[in-house]
A and B are shown apart, each in its own frame.
Chain A
Amino acid sequence: MANEKDKAAIKEAVKRKKREHYVPVVPDTQLGFIHNNVDCIGCRACEIACKDKNGLPPGPRFRRVQYVEGGTYPEVFAYKINMSCNHCAEPACLPTCPTGAIFKRKKDGIVDIDSTLCIGCRRCEAACPFGAPQYNAETNTVVKCNMCVDEIDAGRKPYCVMACMMRVLDIGPIDQLRAGTYETKARGANDEVVRQVRNMADPELTNPSIVFVPHSKGKVG
């Protein structure tokens, strides 16, 4: 795959990139995710929908439903944390990219990778605290969730959200999601939302665009 790339364009991109000092794009509206950790049954329809949408081979998993469990028999608990790319306000991946392939959209804050410019160096993969960018050996590029920009631009929601059988995963303007003013089935009438759950990287690092309805055992602080 790398051989087919326009090497001159990549060289140009590297040169341009070196001259730039990265200032995070401030989007007009930052879109983000909301996930209900408790009501999620962990079925992974979202994951498979994502695989199909993006035509992924076994290996990269843009969306990952993580199972958390604890307690001692018979007093046990379990919940799910569902994450893909958090389309951070200050994405850690973006400045690491030597070719400037990673970019953040002005209109909605979606962080995306221009795969024509990606050289598969995997620096972004190392930088991301959430494991969003993943290496696809077949194409020698790093790939990740782009919130289905094509669907967003067509006025719809990403495949994962539209796949959710329990309606516990949704997107919306992140400020409204945080304020609880956004109408979504992911949050119940009495549910509070949080920016961070246990064992998740400190949101101060990158300001991820995601909120959760946490499990009582998953609350931080």
Chain B
Amino acid sequence: MTRRASTEPFDTNPLSGALPLSRRRLLELAAAGSAAGLLPLGGTNEAKAFAYEPYPKDDELETVVTSCAHNCGSRHMLVAHKKGDVIVRLSTDDGRYQKDGFFGKDTEEEPQVRACLRGRSYRARLYSAERLLYPMMRVGPRGEGKFKRVSWDEALTFVANKMVELKTKYGPQAILDQSYAGASYGVLHKSDQIEGLLARFLGMFGCRTSSWSVPSYQATTFSSRMTFGTIEDGNEDDAFAHSKLIIMWGWNPAYTFHGGNTFYYMRMAKQRGCKFVLVDPQYTDSAAAYDAWWIPIKPNTDAAMMAAMAHVIFSENLHNQDFINRFVLGMDQGTMPDWAKGKENFKDYILGTYDKTPKTPEWAEPICGVKADDIRKLARMYAGTKPAALKASWAPGRNAYGEQYNRMAAALQSMTGNIGVLGGCAEGVGKAFHSEAVAYPYDQYANVWYASIKSDRWAHCVLNYPNVKREEVGLWPRQDNLDGVIPNIKGIFWQGSDWFNQLTNINKEIEAIKKLELVVCMDSTITPSGIWADVLLPIATHFERHDVALPWYKGHYYIHRPKVIQPLGESKSDFQVFTELAYRLGFGPAFNPKANRDYFHIDDNVDEAYLREWWEGRVMGNAAHPVTMGWEEFKKRGIYKFHLHEPHVAFKDQIEKGIPFQTASGRIEIFSTQLAQITDWTKTQYGYEIPYIPKWIEPWESLNSPKTAQFPFHLISPHPRWRTHSIFNNIPWLRETFEQEVTLNAADAAKLGVKTGDVVELYNDRGRVVVPVYATERCMPGVAVLHEGAWMDLDKNGVDRAGNPDFLTLDEPSPAGAFAYNTVLCAIRKTTLEHKPGWDQLATSRSHVFRRDL
């Protein structure tokens, strides 16, 4: 469905008068006729800009509302302006498209959902040279990157035969599902471990090993489940506008955006007098924009600093005892369950009752590199400001024992009573307002698996099979005879994921992938993972298939995603590919009940039927938030924005109405009843013991460990702004705005004898990468920052010239499953090796000169 933008309500020259158009003025103009206010053209030389015709203006093009589609948690509107079957340019929400909308409408209740720089660059990705247009099969050794074009029939025949062979020879665990949300977060076409199409396809086929730990936020997933009994611990984005204090703990919304209009509501908070604090090894753009008090902290020591804050709050009696008594389990002696009265409670731990180590600010200072007085000041500030949001973000959890940091944050949030109140915060995962999100058949066949492992242990499993213990790979327990059976992984499917480039310790992965017998990559472009595949299947982008989008993280709206253009080349949707494969394997009708085998060639009616049924049934029939807009009107407008009568705040009902939390005790479990009762840890998916109350545990490497003698820098690898993980690394527009570079403190750089722009080598026992330096005062000494997601580019010695930090990371997850992406020591030296920012020859350019102390 497309709609033509109408210019009728708009004055042809509103800027001659009052701008922005107020609602009243707009109505006046509409009444007066659209020509009102037009000034006579002045001068003789009124040539057009870009006079080289044809320069199509927006209003001469067809307008189609759609959205961006990558895995950042946000989801914003893109408006395609197309001519024929070509998208000429993209714009974004300007207030016109929603119900009762008009150009410029942008209220606090219904803000525009404006796309970020990545979304705005989508046209360059859609038409990029890296697009996969035809099925291809490997001709050289795996990883060499040589492929030949084949027909769909040849490619799918090969895949189907190989799947049957693997299942027959190696059993129901032989194929590893490494689908992820890289290419798609739609309600119908979805790549994901749990709700994804591949999970259902392999499950129905009867051969699937699943990857259970989430690379981004497994620590906080664990923490939120243990503490609150749910991962939906998030407030909606607009709730941030109501805080008086926001502590951004390892959180950089200026880079990650984090759903809806989070960053913008935080600006509103600032204008209303909210104070900001940043606890982070870097002085980020968020710190600058929100004028935050920056507390630099050594990576991986966050839980220690939080413990010290808890000590200050307890010892100065700043905690909210009433809240603790009513809602919390195990915060102190009085709130311990009867059966565990003799066990250590959180206050005991903080005050050092048993271990004789009070977790004072002075205790934390040498661990964290934060002055005791600053810890004290922040603790008092947090306990004394109401309401205050301690936003414990994901990055500090991507660590050895990262779950302790998130559990410790939950303890601070509850002892100060900042949970369930507007302006407070229990995040955590931060998943907020929940909308209906699955339109394909999500039934008893969805997410069937025969083994499930910690996601970054697959290479370890493959390389050491069968001499692998279940705790080494984090094998999820089962109730049948497959419990404890180590999977003999012989094949991998990548659906919308570039995991080979994104998981830890890539050199180990390279060894492991050589042992596999089938590697299938389904994606819209070639990716570093695709280079290692046997079969490349070209997948239609979200511009080329029908779907509905919504943010999975924050933001309350649906965006319609029509088939804006026909799929390029021979590309097909994932759903089409799986359906055709299912027919070849004998379960086609069960896999896609609304389709017949023609679906591979014509998908429009089937997709429409799924989406309509979902919208009219689940979305309009949702008990908590029914949508009244019909499917046809939604398709015509392109967007539906929910009207919430107040900002959604997690656990508000629990606090205000006394509804029990979803934990076993019905309370906020700082003392975890589940963890306290585990006796054999090897039989759990964690594999190793996790304390039942939050504790500071020394990570296996950090700036405090002796290993710094050899590897003096602590490497962290946060999300970049100019990529969504690895997606968009190939976009020249984005690449000329930012560089893949290692950020170092200026004094460290001076010691290494390097300055901004010099090329260095980062190395440790696991790998070597080559990148330029950015030397700045904005980074803590001893810390090196290298953003994740650069497309690996190996030289003949196995050195990565692109600067992908995952050649240095360790494939040793935290017990709770958190990837230890940020637990890495490395050394740095100046090098003559070449840095290659991308696979093409495009030179990256810095847009500006960094100026210091003007």
Q: Does A150 contact B (CB under 8 A)?
A: yes
Return the contact of A73 from the options B43, B721, B781 (Cβ within 8 A).
B781
Q: Does B288 contact A (CB under 8 A)?
A: yes
Q: Does B751 contact A (CB under 8 A)?
A: no
Expressed in whole angstroms, the Cα–Cα distance for A30 and B737 within the complex equals 30
A199 near B120 (CB under 8 angstroms)?
no
Q: List which B224-278 residues lie within 8 A (CB) of chain A.
A: 253-254, 257, 261, 263-264, 267, 270-271
Q: Does B289 contact A (CB under 8 A)?
A: yes
CB distance from A130 to the nearest CB of B (A): 13
CB distance from B746 to the nearest CB of A (A): 7
B49 near A71 (CB under 8 angstroms)?
no
B42 near A38 (CB under 8 angstroms)?
no
Residue from B20, B291, B734, B779 whose CB has the most chain A CB atoms within 10 Å: B20
A45 near B50 (CB under 8 angstroms)?
no
- Known interface pairs A29-B15, A41-B286, A52-B121; A106-B43 also in contact (CB < 8 Å): yes
User: Which B residues are in CB contact (< 8 Å) with A171?
Assistant: 15, 19
User: Which A residues are in CB contact (< 8 Å) with B50?
Assistant: 54, 115, 143, 146
Q: List which A146-172 residues lie within 8 A (CB) of chain B.
A: 146, 149-157, 159, 162-167, 171-172
Q: Does A43 contact B (CB under 8 A)?
A: yes
A70 near B10 (CB under 8 angstroms)?
no
Return the contact of A112 from the options B49, B285, B735 (Cβ within 8 A).
B49
Expressed in whole angstroms, the Cα–Cα distance for A10 and B283 within the complex equals 53
Closest to B51 in A: A116
Q: Does A22 contact B (CB under 8 A)?
A: no
- Known interface pairs A73-B746, A106-B43; A159-B91 also in contact (CB < 8 Å): yes
Q: Does B854 contact A (CB under 8 A)?
A: yes
User: Which B residues are in CB contact (< 8 Å) with A44?
Assistant: 117, 721-722, 737
A153 near B58 (CB under 8 angstroms)?
no
Q: Does A39 contact B (CB under 8 A)?
A: yes
> What are the interface flags for A80-123 relative to B under an 8 Å C-beta threshold, 1 for contact and 0 otherwise?
00000000000000000000100111111000111111000000
Which secondary structure dominates chain B's binding surface? loop
User: Which A residues are in CB contact (< 8 Å) with B46?
Assistant: 103, 105-106
| Contact size range, A | 35 or more
B10 near A48 (CB under 8 angstroms)?
no
Residue from B14, B47, B270 whose CB has the most chain A CB atoms within 10 Å: B47
A29 near B289 (CB under 8 angstroms)?
no
A113 near B49 (CB under 8 angstroms)?
yes
Residue from A48, A172, A185 whose CB has the most chain B CB atoms within 10 Å: A48
User: Which B residues are in CB contact (< 8 Å) with A207?
Assistant: none
- Known interface pairs A64-B848, A107-B13, A217-B854; A77-B43 also in contact (CB < 8 Å): no
Return the contact of A163 from the options B48, B59, B114, B123 (Cβ within 8 A).
B114
CB distance from A94 to the nearest CB of B (A): 11
Expressed in whole angstroms, the Cα–Cα distance for A173 and B174 within the complex equals 67
B288 near A61 (CB under 8 angstroms)?
no
> What are the interface flags for B90-108 relative to A under an 8 Å C-beta threshold, 1 for contact and 0 otherwise?
1110100000000100100
Expressed in whole angstroms, the Cα–Cα distance for A218 and B40 within the complex equals 40
A166 near B267 (CB under 8 angstroms)?
yes
Expressed in whole angstroms, the Cα–Cα distance for A212 and B289 within the complex equals 15
> What are the interface flags for B772-812 relative to A under an 8 Å C-beta threshold, 1 for contact and 0 otherwise?
00001111110000000000000000000000000000000
**20 A-B pairs in the complex with CB atoms less than 8 angstroms apart:** A25-B42, A41-B263, A41-B289, A43-B254, A48-B733, A51-B733, A52-B90, A64-B847, A70-B851, A76-B777, A78-B778, A100-B45, A107-B16, A146-B50, A152-B13, A154-B7, A155-B14, A163-B120, A165-B114, A185-B106
Interface residues of B (CB under 8 A from A): 7, 10-16, 18-20, 39-43, 45-52, 55, 57-59, 89-92, 94, 103, 106, 114-117, 119-121, 123-124, 253-254, 257, 261, 263-264, 267, 270-271, 283, 285-289, 291, 294, 296, 721-722, 732-737, 745-747, 776-781, 842, 847-848, 850-854
